[in-house]
Amino acid sequence: MGKTKTVFVTGQEEALSGEEKYKLRLKKKAEKEAIKKAKIEGVGLKGGERIKVVASEEIITAEIPKEEKAKKEIKIKKRGKKYISAKQKIDKSKEYEINEAIKLVKETSYSSFDGTMEAHFVVKKQGLSVSVTLPHSTGKTKKIEIANEETIKKLEKGIIDFDVLLATPDMMPKLLPFARLLGPKGLLPNPKAGTLIKDKEEAKNFSIDKINIKTEKEAPLIHTIFGKVSMDDTKLEENLKSLIEAVGARQITKLFIKSTMSPSVRVKI
């Protein structure tokens, strides 16, 4: 008589034929492949959970390692009742004339303070940079500083406590080492912006209503301000028209205006 081989599957000794052994090997191979695939794809399980494969009453388990970094949940911003109520007054499919858009922004502004009027341009190309002197004040107070030795000491500490920096030619070599600090903020003095002055007397003629605007570093977008909600409609309209003219109507693909706390309104160019 030939020898009989035994395998343990359910804890009981069973004699298997050659064909049965072959089928058992195929089943175990399929189970291993399922476990391997589950490890790769995660099968929708969380870290630390187990995959259980039942075959011939034997339980094979495989531990799934925890992910090194949990995926950040996407949070949907919830809008308040005031915003939702204001938004219902605006037709998003419509482009409003400048005067209509300004009135609508004022009507839908729900801040308890005097909000700032904002303009957001979508332009055709990046790298666009222009300067414009608005016909009327934006209502925002700006601190102007003329570069001196004290300014250099503050910059060495990374302190910027001014909104506009003016400089005479003799101070420019001392400011250049801080180009990476001042440049991205648009504070590095230059002739185009009118912030490079001949002498301190010339600083008296500098207009705080002169705005330097440019596109974002990686997108053809421009964000700027053109006044306060409390300002006269006509003054706001003239300021906005000055911005449009400076950027160039042909360069603008879309223009939206809003206040600090209001939905945006699309403006017809």
* Type and span of the H or E element at 188: none
**Distance (Å, whole) CA 225 – CA 231:** 13
CA 29 to chain centre: 49
Residue, of 256 and 143, whose pLDDT is higher: 256
The residue behind tokens 């069973």 is: 14
Residue 33 — very low, low, confident or very high, per pLDDT cuts 50/70/90? confident
Assign 20 to helix, strand or coil. Answer: helix
Is the pLDDT at 50 greater than 70, yes or no? no
Report the pLDDT value the prediction gives residue 55, as an integer from 0 to 100.
Answer: 41
Cα angle vertex 262, ends 217, 125, to 5°?
25
**31 phi and psi angles, rounded to 5 deg:** -65, -40
The identity of residue 71, as a single letter, is K
Cα angle vertex 178, ends 177, 184, to 5°?
135
Say if CB 168 and CB 198 are below 8 A apart: yes
Distance (Å) of CA 246 to CA 31, 74, 134, 196: 69, 38, 10, 21
Average pLDDT value for residue range 224-253: 96
Range in 98-102, 120-124, 134-138, 224-228 the model is least confident about: 134-138
Tokens representing 104 are: 């609508």
Say if CB 219 and CB 226 are below 8 A apart: no
Per-residue pLDDT of 102-123, as tens digits, reads 999 999 999 999 999 999 999 9
**Spatial CA neighbour of 148 closest among 77, 210, 197:** 197
Tokens representing 153 are: 């000491």
Q: What is the dihedral of CA 125, 128, 134, 139, to 10 degrees?
A: 90
* Type and span of the H or E element at 179: helix 179-182
**Spatial CA neighbour of 54 closest among 36, 70, 31:** 31
Say if CB 101 and CB 265 are below 8 A apart: yes
Report the pLDDT value the prediction gives residue 179, as an integer from 0 to 100.
Answer: 92
Report the pLDDT value the prediction gives residue 76, as an integer from 0 to 100.
Answer: 65
Say if CB 219 and CB 126 are below 8 A apart: yes
Per-residue pLDDT of 232-246, as tens digits, reads 999 999 999 999 999
Average pLDDT value for residue range 39-44: 47
Assign 14 to helix, strand or coil. Answer: strand
Report the pLDDT value the prediction gives residue 16, as an integer from 0 to 100.
Answer: 65
